[in-house]
Structure 1
Amino acid sequence: MRGEKMSGREGLLLNGEQDQVPLGEIVQLSQIRGDRNRVTTALKDSILQEGLLYPPIVASVTPALLEEYIGFTNRTWGGDANFDDFADRLRLDGNYYLMVAGHTRCAAVEELINEGALPADIEMPVKVVKMGSVMDIVSVQRADNLHSAPPKEREAMAIVELYVWGLENGSWSNKKEFLNSQSSQNINITRGTLRDALHYANLPSRIRNFILGGAIKYSVGVEMGAGVPIMLDFFAYKMGFSGFDDSAINEESKRQIELATEVFLDRLCIEIVSGNRSTGKNRSILESRVLIRNELERMKGVMVPVSDEPLFTLQEPPSQIIDGEIRNLRRALNDMTVRHASGLLSDMIKGQEGLLGSDEVDSLLEKLKSAENYEYQSLGGIALSASI
């Protein structure tokens, strides 16, 4: 996704005015987009010593445009943010400042404020660009990626938002037209890059956060995302439906099917990070997808059964299915805390609070801390570190 020049909407990046604004007055939609940024010590040290050499870019948007963009990101990424949540950030000119580029720099400033290294009311330099449409916003995000070489997962998010918004508004009607449109602007997005980005977009936000936080490789996340439609059908069948597209599925059933799928993927991530699943050439993830697909096809009567015994009984109560998946997740978490020690695992445990509750998360963190102390002592004071 590289080009040599910007024109049209992308040229907005070349314009704009400088401003100073407290971080708390900028609207950031990280909670919707699953936009968890990796902040390095080097970046924070640089900010403390030299300031922000490259100010983040914010869009000056009307209330109507902000509400429209929030609705779009909710639809695209499965968020539930409300426009009213940002009422206190309305500026005197009647517009909002919306973060569109420089999220990692803002995250670094926020960490420095939380650590007491910067005052809470410090004003941050920003470049302000006036934007009049959602297409302006997503185009500028993509244009920023052309020149900043972001991680693949962040590039994927910009591609998905641009592609989906164009579909919704008739700028293109299929993937081929989208790719041709980008090519005409000297922007090279391959079919494989778009395919992988759309697979990544299939993932629940909590799973995307594992990737954005560095615990899971983007390529592994893409393979998991490719299997999400199969998993949704799998759990829909377990709950007695003909598939995830069954018209009999109401909103509550849809939520239960999606939750079961999310917990299943969550456990898969835990096993990968703890070393219980090999990801060499993504083989383990592919095998998991094939297992689910084979069982699903066997249930549909499309293929010869792969085993004499079914993996489950049809029409299990949804609560029983979800409880079973959560039990599997708990087993994986407990096994991980006993056998492994890693900062990545600590972050992943903290990510379970919404599902398991704070008390259980605190207990798991204590177990992990005990495992870390044991490994440190058993190695004569040399601590282990693990990464994926």
Structure 2
Amino acid sequence: MLSLRALNRATLDRQLLLDRSAATPHEVVAHLVGMQAQEPFSPYFGLWSRVRDFDPRMLGDLLVDRKVVRAPLHRATIHLVTADDHGVLEPVLRPMVERRFRSSPFKVAAPYLDRIAPLVREWVAEQPRTKAELTRLLGAEFPDVDAESLAVAACQLLSMIQVPPRAVWGASGRASWTTAEHWLGVPRGDKADHAGLVLRYLAAFGPATVADVRAWSGLGGLKDVVEGLDLRRLVDEDGRELVDLPDAVLPDADVPAPVRFLPEFDNVLLGHDDRRRIISDEDYRRGVVVGGRRTVLVDGFVHGTWRTTRTGLDVEIFRPLTRAQRVDVETEGAALLAFAGVAGEVVIT
């Protein structure tokens, strides 16, 4: 049986949060099967907590060089993935994105998709376009339809990506879109490898239940996929069956977990249906996750939130710290300020 603490340590290990990795940022993004990126700069802080000697220019260069891209993927939200992985993940996740769109307030656009697709592809091949620009262009072509709905449909359903300088450290840019095919120079993929996705998920998030995989990806119908794989079967404290890779390492529950500062919507907070392995029910009800607050891990679990200010780093702690834990939070917080280029002090309340 896996205790909650053992499950926590296994997850932190897979997420590279027990010890910073010597892998490159590109390799880490691939290992994590993408990083939540609806907040443009959150992956920089997520990588800083996972990669040794991480320099934000490393990720900025990957975006500019088209080695990584930002696109609507898992759960139809913006994720940062490697260019190669976009062609692997998009075909698997496409039906989910389409299903969510067709049940959304923008479903009014569905009957027009075949008509708008060639127009939008032509416009964004000329130059990347913002949703506002697409709304204006589509409104001129379809004056009797809600043009904003058409623009949202195009960005969600035509395998589109957001292009730099959006989300490049030290730069600024509007959310401008073009097709992945145009940006990456490869045709849209059609091979959907559900089994491969499950195996990669377990490598980065396991051990896990089928419901966990579903919550992370937004996909249904995964039970049969999981049952068809050669996986290790485990049981947690509640008697639920967990699956895992046969040769995956399970760290001891007593392995020390260092303080880590995580960005809003970090992968480890959104990667499971049952999030108690990383955040207690009590702390989840504070709105930390759904509210997109930046979190601090102490002894492996969410212990508070943080934000940078003009005077430094403010850390709100949910329960008392030991003297040693307080020193660790202050030390890691000072390192975070240095990374972010913010002068000031760490204030813990």
TM-score (norm 2): 0.29
Greater helix percent: which structure? 1
More strand by share: 2
